[in-house]
Structure 1
């Protein structure tokens, strides 16, 4: 996107902001003035660097982003702010590139910029995204070089312990936080309550919430309430869950679709279907629109009742929200379990037209369902398509499929299936043992040798 006229640094920033294509934006950045005099280099403003780095980072064009950073390092006029490096570190964290995130952090001083607790926290969060606990400990061992830990630092460390399943360590970090007189916030309490609820310690979580409001004068937020609601619903304490919902209303915390969906799902699971449907109407009247998760809960309930007609109706209602693959998999799996694999196959084949691509779970469930119903020709086609797409069927399913083909005596289809399995590298010793055993039981010795020649000769 070049222009024949000279443009000002301000104009360059405007054009970069407007350009949606990161490759074209990079071309413009590199050549803002075509055929310019090399003796008069273009004076890039800091904002232009920020804009192009952001565009390239979001597009995961990391090599090009690094080239721009190298150019910025050479531009001695500019004092680079720490926040720019935080942005780059975050890009690498989301892309699961911990080494590059760490390298960026280490390079900050070479850009005439000082590392502070801000970039340390960003790096810790990026490393946590990548589950790089060893690297996190390395940073912590040098913490005094960068400043005093703040609440954000401790929240990251508490969350790292929670994710790692070490709640004892999480509480130790919380105690250290209090000893160092760093005031915890709602995120701190929410993270610890999440860990308590995940371990089934709901009563302790409720007491901790009271401690938060009484001793720290903090009000629970939507995430904290959702955590408690989910925990109470999982343990079947619906009356207390609805009390939490009422408390949210009193405290003017917005009830979103996730809150309603959690409660509707819990009501369905304990057989209180009528109440669940009434509650869904309440949800709509309150101005909260059901999302695809809400519809998936209803689809699951109707499939559990084997009421596939209603499940299809819900699927149609959800079309404006673009049903996800979970919506279809719930119905496909239920149909297969009920011996309706042909109907499941029809829905499966219709998924692309509805704008939803089947995933490996879709293929596996349908393949198993077709085998169970002895629709072996359709199963063979499904297996071939599955392998072509790079999906791996369960070894148990392959073994069962081969056994059923041998039982039926369809050795022509068996030969085609073995060819497909060979292309996908799914032929193993166990499968050959099953094949030998099945064929030798069924055929005369001379016929078995001839059949094996057919199966093994390419």
Structure 2
């Protein structure tokens, strides 16, 4: 590409159009080569081509892709020598401010463009509203939406509605979030699982379990199929209120609807079951994971191991620990200390030595574990056993 550009510069018979340079600047942005983008922009006149707002915008966008926000500001400040900023210019700058967390600067740019007679478009509003929602300034976004419709006649895009609903859910404004959902229905916008997942999750958080279930059932009426995230939200909600029967029914419903369970689905249930002392059920779910095509991860192992240790299920915990270390996963030190201390208190020396050997194989044994084991044995005057532990430490 750069060889072709060099030929274009030397061949005076050809006058390249500005769109060529806009495209090259875009490619440099994708490759995060901001210095080359700046160099090419400066050299455009050498190609017998005049720079307009289009190439300026392409450069700004290239710098945005490279996350060079300071350079964007410098380019913008020099821009009016050559071209007048348009809505696209401000959209790129506002997006950069939102991405870098400078929401006040984004609002100033929005006010500036209007004061200069540059009319904002739907993308301008959408970009600014998205930034405000991500910054949890949803009430400001809501006011901006009102101006967008009333003063400019723009209807927010579906993705803007979704972002606002998600933001409103985060700050607990359920009434407004539900109102926006109804607006989407009234405007014939297709609702998707992300909208419902946010709403259902928030209803569970504030203790409105029945409303959450109603929303889940409503999805079918709008032709919106729950996805894995939606099912996980439902399972997590029922687990939090200790309604495991309903959580299991949702799990079965996933299979019936052909929705694949993921590791988060299982981890949610395993973790909650362990907290309630339902270790046998948790272990059954853990063993069911591979049969369902879901591989347990380090969180799965740690949740089950922690639960078994906390419940005094030392033999089962040791078996899980052995498998865990074999897979290359390391337990939390606190859980290991609980297991070792429990075995010492129960006087299960044979199992204790097995646990220490397993931990040593995975290089997962720390000084604290040894101190617990040796001190407990020494306190019980079992000096020969303490000697064995010290021998193991040396080995």
Residue 137 (structure 1) aligned to one of 63, 70, 89? 70
Cα 1:254–1:400 shift into 2, 3 Å: same
In the alignment, which residue of structure 1 is the partner of 2:334? 396
Structure 1 position 227 matched with structure 2 position 163: yes
Structure 1 position 302 matched with structure 2 position 238: yes
| Deviates most, 197-206 or 372-381 | 197-206
Residue 200 (structure 2) aligned to one of 264, 281, 291? 264
Structure of higher RCO (CA pairs closer than 8 Å, 6+ residues apart)? 2
Give structure 2 stretches of 5+ with no counterpart.
none
> Paired residues, what number?
375
Are 1:337 and 1:369, in contact at CA under 8 Å, matched by a contact in 2?
Answer: yes
- Could you tell me how far 1:356 is from its partner in structure 2? 1.9
In the alignment, which residue of structure 1 is the partner of 2:302? 364
Deviation per residue, 1:308-330 (Å, 9 max, x gap): 23322322222312122221121
Are 1:300 and 1:331, in contact at CA under 8 Å, matched by a contact in 2?
Answer: yes
Deviation per residue, 1:328-366 (Å, 9 max, x gap): 121111111111223212212221221222233222212
**1:13-24 equivalent positions in 2, closer than 5 A:** none
3-state secondary structure, aligned to 1:321: coil
**1:219-368 equivalent positions in 2, closer than 5 A:** 219-319=155-255, 320-368=258-306
**1:78-227 equivalent positions in 2, closer than 5 A:** 83=23, 86=26, 89-90=29-30, 101-102=33-34, 105=37, 116-117=55-56, 119-128=58-67, 135-138=68-71, 140-142=73-75, 144=78, 151=87, 154-155=90-91, 157-178=93-114, 182-198=118-134, 200-227=136-163
Distance in 2 between residues matched to 1:423 and 1:141, nearest whole Å: 58
In the alignment, which residue of structure 1 is the partner of 2:352? 414
- Could you tell me how far 1:284 is from its partner in structure 2? 0.6
Distance in 2 between residues matched to 1:421 and 1:74, nearest whole Å: 63
Are 1:117 and 1:148, in contact at CA under 8 Å, matched by a contact in 2?
Answer: no
Cα 1:137–1:360 shift into 2, 3 Å: farther
- Could you tell me how far 1:199 is from its partner in structure 2? 5.2
Are 2:353 and 2:389, in contact at CA under 8 Å, matched by a contact in 1?
Answer: no
Give structure 1 stretches of 5+ with no counterpart.
1-68, 93-97, 129-134
Q: Normalization by structure 1: what TM-score?
A: 0.68
Q: Normalization by structure 2: what TM-score?
A: 0.77
Are 2:235 and 2:250, in contact at CA under 8 Å, matched by a contact in 1?
Answer: yes
RMSD of the TM alignment (CA)? 3.8
Distance in 1 between residues matched to 2:376 and 2:106, nearest whole Å: 56
Distance in 1 between residues matched to 2:363 and 2:87, nearest whole Å: 52
